[in-house]
A and B are shown apart, each in its own frame.
Chain A
C-alpha cells in the first residue's frame, strides 16, 4: 500500500503555511534540551538547520565528511540567490516568484511547497544580511540585484561571484556560534553509513570516523538528512569530488521513497572536457549569461577552421556568427532556462558547429565583446568623456566586466590558459544539480517517521528543472524557516521519551552490517580500483541517461549498469586497512550506492514517457526539437520503493500533482 500522503494543508494557497504554523504542535523551550537531533550534512540546508535547531534549544549532533562544515559544496555556488523583495520595483512578488519557479520546473513540483519557498524567500535575505553576508550594494547603501535565466525581473541577490560561499559561511558562522556554546556537537570527517530504525521510527545512525576508521553508533529522536545531490553518479559533474548519495540512498533502502531520480539538471555553462584524465568539471556562473552572448560559427567551414586552430573566434565577423539562443528564443534570448540552453548547445554541436579542439567537438562560445562595448559607452557618458576612442570604450567596458565577474574570468584563464577578455569563453553543458531525491511530505518528512530530508537531498521544490539562484534559496528556506517548525510538530510527542540508548539490537545489527561490508571491501582480492567502475558507470549514464534519452538506450543502460554492479562486487580492489584513514574505502561505499541509484535513474527515465525539464526523450519531441510534455499521463511524482537487492523490482508510487492556482501551460521562451 502506498504511504504517499503529501499532508498539504487546506485553505487558500497564500494562507496554507501561516495556518499550518498556527496549528502545529510545539515543544516548549524548557523541554527542548530533552530532545536530540542528528543532522547529516552541513551545507546550506544542513548548516542552517543545525544552527537554528540549536538556537531553539535542541541538542544537535551535526555530521560532515569534510574536515570542516565550511567546505560543504554549497560553497561553490557562484551567481546568486532569489528573493521576492521587489526592491527594484519591476513587478516582482511572491506570486511571481512562485509562478516562475513552477513554470521553470516544467509543472512537476508541488504548488504548496513552492509557494512557501517564495513566501519565506525575503526572510532569507533579511537573515543573511543580519549575519553579515556582504551582498552587493548600490552607492546609496541599498542592496543590488541581477537577473537570471528563465525570469524577466531582477530578483537575484549576490556577493560577487561567490554568493554560495558567503551564504554558507553565514550558516557556518551561525553554527560556529552554537558549537562554541556547546549546543551543536560537530562531527567532522565522519560519514553516515546506515540509518537505525527503532519501533518504526528513525532513531539514529551508524557513522564511520574517517580518521580512525572506527564505526560509531549515534542516537537521536529524529534524523535530518541534508546530504545534497547525486550528480556524481555521472563521474564527471560540477559536484565536489566527495559529494555522494549514500545518506539518502541508505534511508531509501530502509523504506524512504526516492522520487523522480531521472530529473537531473545539465548546466549550460561549464568549461568543456579536456581529456580522459579529467576528474571533474568546472562551472562558469550562469550569471555570465546576463552579459555574455552565446554563439557558434554560422558557416560550418569556420567551425572546422577554428577546431584546426586556423581561425580565431574574435576574427569571425558578427554576421557570420549564429547567436542561436537569440535566434530561436527571441523573448528570453541568452537567458532561457538551463535545460533549453543546454539542449540547444548540444543540437548545434551534434550538427557539426562545435568549436572545441578534441574528439567530441563539444563546445560553444560565450562572448562578452558586445557587453564590453555597451558598458564602455555607458561609462564614458557617465564620466563625461566626449568622443571617446575605441580603446577608452574598451577599457571602461572591461573595467565594468572585471568588477562584476572578475574572479570568474581569472578562474577560467587559470584552467584553460585562454584570456576570456580577448577570446570568448568556451563552454559546454555538464551535469550539475539533481532535482530528484528523497520523497518528502509538506513537513519535509520522508516515508520513515522521524526521518526528515532537506535541501537538494529531497525532491520537492524544483520539479523537472531548476532555475538559477533557486537552489541556495531552497537550502536556506528549508533549514532556517521550514524544518525548525515542522520537526517540532513531530518531536512534541517525544518529550517524555528520554535519551535513546545505543546498546539495543537495532543498533548492534546495523553496526555489524557495516563492519561486515568494511571487511568485505578490505579483503576482496579484486583487480580494479573503485574509480575504474565509477568511470564505467559515468560513461553509461552520460551517453544513455544524459541530455537526450531513448527507450532503447535506457534499456541498454539498465542492463549495462547491472553488469558493472556485478563486476564491482566481484572484482573491486580496496588497498590499505580499515583502522585509519582510507580514502579508497570511502569511495567504495559511495560507488556501491551510485551503481544502484544509476540503475533506478534509468528505470525512472524509461517509465516517464514524455519530455519535461531536464528529462528529454527523443521519442517525445516536437518537429523543431522542443520538449513534448504529456500532462495527461505524467503530471505526477514518481516515488520508488525499495524491494531488496534487485533494483529492477522497485515499485513506483504516484503522487498526482494538482494545480489549483496556476494554469498549466506549455513552456515557451520564444
Chain B
C-alpha cells in the first residue's frame, strides 16, 4: 500500500463569467491531492467539491489529456502549462508541487485570444491564419501520383516533422510579451517549405499567413525566446528565422 501523503493547497483562480464581464481572482482550498494526479485531475477534484457545495465549477479547456490535442491551456504560477518543460497542462503532475503551496491559475494572456469564461479563451484566430495558407493546394480526390514518386531527403522529412509537431496550443503567444504568433506560423511555414510538394506555393503561403497573422492582432517577434522555452513540443526559434527568410525572399520576389 502506498503511504504517500496527499497535498494541501491554496488555489488562486481567475473567475470571469463571460467576455463582457470583469474578472477577478478567487481563493479556494483543496486537500489530500495525490502526487500521482495530473494538474487537471486536481481541478476535477476541486470542481466536484464546488458542485457539491452548490457553487459553479471552474470552466477550463481540456480534451485528450495525453499532451497532443493542444486544447488544454492555463497559466500556472506565471508560466504557460506550469512549472515543467516540454509538456502540456494535462501532463503536468502534482508531484511538481509542495504541500502547503499557493498556486496561481490564469487563462492564456493575449489580445488575440479573448476570454470566453473563467480559464477558457478563444483561439480561433489560429484557425483563420491556417485558412489563409497553412496547406498545400492539392485536390483531395486521390488522383495524385504514387507517394514514392516524390522523394524527400530523410533530413528534410525529419526536420519537417519536427516543425509539424506543433499542437497549436497557443503557449507561445500567451508567454510572448508582444503576443506574437510567429512560432506557430513559422512552424507551419517551415514544415511545408521543407517539402518538395509544398515548395511550389511557398511564397504565396508565407505572404498570406503573415498578413492574416498581423490582421488578427498578433504582435511581432523581438527574439526574446520565451516561446521556445514554453513550447510543449520543443519547436525552436529556427522556424521563425526560416519564416523570416521565406518572407523576405517572397516579398522581394513579389515586390
Cα distance A242–B63 in the bound complex, in angstroms: 6
A73–B65 contact, CB under 8 A? no
A611 cross-chain contacts in B, Cβ below 8 A: none
Given contacts A140-B151, A172-B130, A179-B131, contact A162 B68 (CB under 8 A): yes
A652 cross-chain contacts in B, Cβ below 8 A: none
Cα distance A533–B86 in the bound complex, in angstroms: 35
Task: Say what secondary structure dominates the interface of chain B.
Answer: loop
Q: Is B177 an interface residue when CB atoms closer than 8 A count as contact?
A: no
Which residue from chain B places its CB closest to the CB of A140 in the assembled complex?
A: B151
Given contacts A75-B68, A130-B197, A414-B87, contact A529 B142 (CB under 8 A): no
Q: Is B148 an interface residue when CB atoms closer than 8 A count as contact?
A: yes
Given contacts A68-B168, A173-B136, A575-B51, contact A141 B154 (CB under 8 A): yes
Given contacts A132-B136, A139-B154, contact A165 B48 (CB under 8 A): no
A280–B157 contact, CB under 8 A? no
Q: Is B222 an interface residue when CB atoms closer than 8 A count as contact?
A: no
B2 cross-chain contacts in A, Cβ below 8 A: 357-358
A623 cross-chain contacts in B, Cβ below 8 A: none
Contact pattern, B 145-168, Cβ under 8 Å of A = 1, otherwise 0: 111101111100110110011011
B145 cross-chain contacts in A, Cβ below 8 A: 126, 130
Q: Is A661 an interface residue when CB atoms closer than 8 A count as contact?
A: no
A67–B95 contact, CB under 8 A? no
B65–A282 contact, CB under 8 A? yes
Residue of A67, A143, A159 contacting most chain B CB atoms (<10 Å): A67
Segment at the interface with A among B35-43, B99-107, B240-248: B35-43
**Of the residues A69, A120, A279, A410, contact of B65 by C-beta under 8 Å:** A279
Q: Is B75 an interface residue when CB atoms closer than 8 A count as contact?
A: no
B63–A581 contact, CB under 8 A? no
A48 cross-chain contacts in B, Cβ below 8 A: 140
Contact pattern, A 48-63, Cβ under 8 Å of B = 1, otherwise 0: 1001100110000000
Q: How many chain B residues have a CB neighbour from A under 8 Å?
A: 84
Cα distance A132–B198 in the bound complex, in angstroms: 7
B91–A126 contact, CB under 8 A? no
Given contacts A139-B154, A411-B91, contact A66 B71 (CB under 8 A): yes
Question: Of residues 86 to 144 in B, which have CB atoms within 8 Å of A's CB atoms?
Answer: 86-87, 91, 93, 95, 116-117, 120, 122-124, 126-127, 130-142, 144
Segment at the interface with B among A270-278, A375-383, A465-473: A270-278
**Of the residues B48, B87, B126, contact of A531 by C-beta under 8 Å:** B48
B127–A68 contact, CB under 8 A? yes
Q: Is B79 an interface residue when CB atoms closer than 8 A count as contact?
A: no
B131–A176 contact, CB under 8 A? yes
Cα distance A414–B88 in the bound complex, in angstroms: 10
A126–B51 contact, CB under 8 A? no
B93–A415 contact, CB under 8 A? yes
Cα distance A441–B66 in the bound complex, in angstroms: 34
B152 cross-chain contacts in A, Cβ below 8 A: 134, 137, 141
A548 cross-chain contacts in B, Cβ below 8 A: none
**Of the residues A56, A129, A176, A274, contact of B130 by C-beta under 8 Å:** A176
Which residue from chain B places its CB closest to the CB of A282 in the assembled complex?
A: B66
A137–B154 contact, CB under 8 A? yes
Cα distance A358–B18 in the bound complex, in angstroms: 42
Cα distance A280–B116 in the bound complex, in angstroms: 26
**Of the residues A55, A66, A130, A531, contact of B136 by C-beta under 8 Å:** A130
Which residue from chain A places its CB closest to the CB of B123 in the assembled complex?
A: A67
Given contacts A67-B123, A141-B152, A176-B134, contact A411 B71 (CB under 8 A): no
A70–B65 contact, CB under 8 A? no
B157–A188 contact, CB under 8 A? no
B249 cross-chain contacts in A, Cβ below 8 A: none
A279–B161 contact, CB under 8 A? no
**Of the residues B48, B50, B147, contact of A85 by C-beta under 8 Å:** B147
**Of the residues B64, B120, B141, contact of A484 by C-beta under 8 Å:** B141
B140–A142 contact, CB under 8 A? no
Q: Is B251 an interface residue when CB atoms closer than 8 A count as contact?
A: no
A131–B135 contact, CB under 8 A? yes
A68–B126 contact, CB under 8 A? yes
Q: Is A37 an interface residue when CB atoms closer than 8 A count as contact?
A: no
B62–A130 contact, CB under 8 A? no
Residue of A177, A238, A417, A484 contacting most chain B CB atoms (<10 Å): A177
Question: Of residues 168 to 195 in A, which have CB atoms within 8 Å of B's CB atoms?
Answer: 169, 172-174, 176-177, 179-180, 186, 188
Distance between B208 CB and nearest chain A CB, rounded to angstroms: 9
A417–B161 contact, CB under 8 A? no
Q: Is A123 an interface residue when CB atoms closer than 8 A count as contact?
A: yes
Cα distance A475–B120 in the bound complex, in angstroms: 30
Q: Is A584 an interface residue when CB atoms closer than 8 A count as contact?
A: yes
A241–B63 contact, CB under 8 A? yes
B130–A67 contact, CB under 8 A? no
Distance between B204 CB and nearest chain A CB, rounded to angstroms: 12
Q: Is A160 an interface residue when CB atoms closer than 8 A count as contact?
A: yes
A279 cross-chain contacts in B, Cβ below 8 A: 38, 40-41, 44, 65
B54–A274 contact, CB under 8 A? no
Question: Of residues 556 to 610 in A, which have CB atoms within 8 Å of B's CB atoms?
Answer: 573, 575-576, 580-581, 583-584
Which residue from chain B places its CB closest to the CB of A279 in the assembled complex?
A: B41
B66–A480 contact, CB under 8 A? no
Question: Of residues 393 to 431 in A, which have CB atoms within 8 Å of B's CB atoms?
Answer: 410-411, 414-415, 417
Given contacts A66-B63, A484-B141, contact A137 B131 (CB under 8 A): no
A75–B151 contact, CB under 8 A? no
A137–B153 contact, CB under 8 A? yes
A278 cross-chain contacts in B, Cβ below 8 A: 37, 41
B66–A411 contact, CB under 8 A? yes
Residue of A52, A124, A134, A240 contacting most chain B CB atoms (<10 Å): A134
Question: Of residues 49 to 86 in B, which have CB atoms within 8 Å of A's CB atoms?
Answer: 50-52, 54-57, 59, 61-71, 84, 86
B164 cross-chain contacts in A, Cβ below 8 A: 134, 159, 166, 169
Distance between B134 CB and nearest chain A CB, rounded to angstroms: 6
A130–B144 contact, CB under 8 A? yes
Q: Is B236 an interface residue when CB atoms closer than 8 A count as contact?
A: no
Which residue from chain B places its CB closest to the CB of A68 in the assembled complex?
A: B127
A415–B154 contact, CB under 8 A? no
Cα distance A611–B190 in the bound complex, in angstroms: 50
Cα distance A56–B141 in the bound complex, in angstroms: 8
Which residue from chain B places its CB closest to the CB of A275 in the assembled complex?
A: B34
Cα distance A357–B167 in the bound complex, in angstroms: 34
Residue of A160, A180, A357 contacting most chain B CB atoms (<10 Å): A180
A186 cross-chain contacts in B, Cβ below 8 A: 127
B71–A67 contact, CB under 8 A? yes
Residue of A52, A142, A162, A583 contacting most chain B CB atoms (<10 Å): A583
Distance between A351 CB and nearest chain B CB, rounded to angstroms: 21
Given contacts A274-B34, A529-B48, contact A165 B68 (CB under 8 A): yes
Instruction: Please list 7 pairs of residues, one from A and one from B, whose beta carbons are closer than 8 Å in the complex, sorted by A's number.
Output: A137-B154, A140-B151, A169-B164, A173-B136, A279-B44, A414-B67, A415-B91
Q: Which residues of A approach B to under 8 Å, CB–CB?
A: 48, 51-52, 55-56, 66-73, 75-76, 85, 87, 120, 123-132, 134-143, 159-160, 162, 165-166, 169, 172-174, 176-177, 179-180, 186, 188, 211, 238, 240-242, 274-275, 277-280, 282-283, 357-359, 410-411, 414-415, 417, 480-481, 484, 529, 531, 573, 575-576, 580-581, 583-584
14 additional A-B pairs beyond A279-B41, A529-B52, beta carbons within 8 Å, are A76-B69, A85-B147, A129-B144, A130-B147, A131-B140, A162-B165, A166-B164, A173-B130, A240-B69, A277-B33, A278-B41, A410-B86, A573-B51, A581-B59
Q: Which residues of B approach A to under 8 Å, CB–CB?
A: 1-2, 17-18, 33-34, 36-38, 40-42, 44-45, 48, 50-52, 54-57, 59, 61-71, 84, 86-87, 91, 93, 95, 116-117, 120, 122-124, 126-127, 130-142, 144-148, 150-154, 157-158, 160-161, 164-165, 167-168, 191-192, 195, 197-198
